[in-house]
Amino acid sequence: MTGASAAELIEQARAWIAQDPDPETRDELQSLVVAAEADSAEAVDELHARFDTRLEFGTAGLRGEIAAGPNRMNRVLVAQAAAGFARYLLEHAAGVTPSVVIGFDGRKNSDVFARDTAELMAGAGVRAILLPRLLPTPVLAFAVRHLDASAGVMVTASHNPPNDNGYKVYLGGEDHGSQIVSPVDAEIAAHILDVARGSVADLPRAESYEVAPESVEQAYVAATVAVARSSVKRDTVAFAYTAMHGVGWRTARQVFSAAGFAEPIVVAEQIDPDPAFPTVAFPNPEEPGAMDLSFATARAAGADLVIANDPDADRLAVAIPDPSNPDGYRRLSGNEVGALLGWRAARLAEASAGPDEAAFGALACSVVSSPALAAVAEAYALDFEDTLTGFKWVSRAPGLIFGFEEALGYLVNPETIRDKDGISAATAFLDLAAELAANGRTVAEHLDAFAEKFGYFASDQISIRVTDLGDIARIMASLRATPPAALGTVAVSRIEDLRDGFGSLPPSDVLRILLDDGSRVMVRPSGTEPKLKIYIDASSDQGTVAQRTATAEARVAALAIAMRELTR
């Protein structure tokens, strides 16, 4: 469709309007058509942006801004995706009726997209089971296994801007409820494109889909409560909680209560679902300012911790008191939380082994996450798995007992769920905090204990946002064509290009730069945003904790300067 004339674009837009069941997107596209017919260059440019390409269905499913056209999220695109996915499931059904469980969060149109999916799946001959209300993504991921479904669909854009929505796909059976990976995404995408050749108005629909019972959420709650393993009194840690205008609170509150934790001090302005996300510029705990209200609430109550879920509650952010910080609290990095939860998992594995038996299992994290987890695995003689970014890969690590990635994603109970889960991770962290408190220690002191035992691991991340996606490709091509011999004053020992696969890792557009002092830099395009992402890691196990900290952080700071210069 690239290079279509204005007349061709208008014709494509009219065909889209004819099949669009949503009056809002029909009307806004009709307004663009009228403006384009009146020779508005701006309207024609917007039609090019909508129709020259389409949102690509990949291993992350679909995600984009809600508006009309194939390059936006809307009911037509969702109908095409649902019908295409149904064809894939029927094709691989092996003589039985396939089933799909469908969940949705509180974003704009999430419930509409979910009902469309249920009706189209049922109309295609797939057993469709719709969750009874808006619920966190982890409940949907859990339900795929709990209901022994062939597949799952979650309508969410997680922590994206307010006007975005998305479509995540899971597979049951031998995939154990993990998100799809290649080449399944390509097979589903081919079916979607085939559906898109016709009109979604002609697709069969049925209202014979089922609504899942309330017991599904209760089963998730029970399984998540079991994550708390300590034998100490658990209500001694006071914590503030925010759902960041998302859907986490109802489910998380049940888990926290049943696990015996203290009643959370809620961030009232952010506790209920609100698709406008009025108090945050971006509903992502990693973004500057997103946790300001949480810090204010915690300060007023003198809370020991801040616990934050993102809007679909599959991510967890933790903050601890920090007198040196103007906010009074410091958000721990995903790598810090991952290291502490990984250490907890290793200790639990060791405790569950017999007196003459070695701990069993694997710790896993994505290649861009801190090497700290590998150090834990080595110390406890556990297996360690490096995976590509995304929990679709982390969750598939053989023998997994814990997995994480630095973008605030943690998998603490792989026996019941195979995706990141911000509620079960919060349960694990609160359990750890209660155990520490029972022994007169704080989370900050436990971080120092980690540095004493394993070394201090520092990390930093640089995001280069672009308006032209071609800029990312050009930077990656330049790094490959003229690889750096040194970064700052430290020589590069080798560069590992994952483009054609590396070791057990599948192909991925990632460069891993290893330096003579043991530091590491990873460079990759973002999978969900127009950004080039650079991850920097360094560590030190020499000297006191303060000395180790200073050494590692100085190395990271120098590498950050070098990478900014290199990618300008």
Catalytic residues: 158
Q: Where are the beta strands (DSSP E) in 322-415?
A: 329-331, 362-366, 383-387, 400-405, 409-411
Taking CA atoms, 14 is separated from 29, 199, 486, in Å, by 9, 12, 55
- 324 vs 337: CA distance, rounded Å: 20
Q: Could you give the strand order of the β-sheet that contains 316-321, starting from the edge strand earlier in sequence?
A: 265-266, 239-242, 305-309, 316-321, 329-331
In a 10 Å sphere around its CB, with 0-12 CB exposed, 13-18 middle and 19+ buried, how is residue 324 labelled? exposed
Torsion over CA: 557, 560, 566, 568 (sign)? negative
Pair 512, 345: CB distance under 8 Å: no
Q: What are phi and psi of 510, to 5 degrees?
A: -135, 140
- 472 vs 343: CA distance, rounded Å: 36
Q: Which amino acid appears at position 306 of this protein?
A: V
Long-range contacts, stretch 46-49, CB < 8 angstroms, 24+ apart: 47/6, 47/9, 47/10, 47/12, 47/13, 48/4, 48/9
Q: Which residues contact 452 (CB under 8 A, 6 or more apart)?
A: 545
Which residues are 539's β-sheet partners?
457
Q: What are phi and psi of 498, to 5 degrees?
A: -90, 5
Query: Which SS3 state, helix, strand or coil, does residue 272 take?
Result: coil
B/e letters for 137-158, b = 16+ CB within 10 Å, e = fewer, are bbbbbbbbbbbebbbbbbbbbb
Which residues are 66's β-sheet partners?
73
Q: What tokens does 173 get?
A: 């059976």
Q: Which residues contact 244 (CB under 8 A, 6 or more apart)?
A: 159, 270, 277, 280, 283, 285, 290, 308, 309, 310, 311
Which residues are 164's β-sheet partners?
65
| Cα Rg of the chain (Å, integer) | 24
- Quickly list H helices, 53-202: 75-91, 110-124, 137-146, 184-196
- 365 vs 375: CA distance, rounded Å: 12
Q: Work out the number of other CB atoms within 10 angstroms of the CB of residue 567.
A: 16
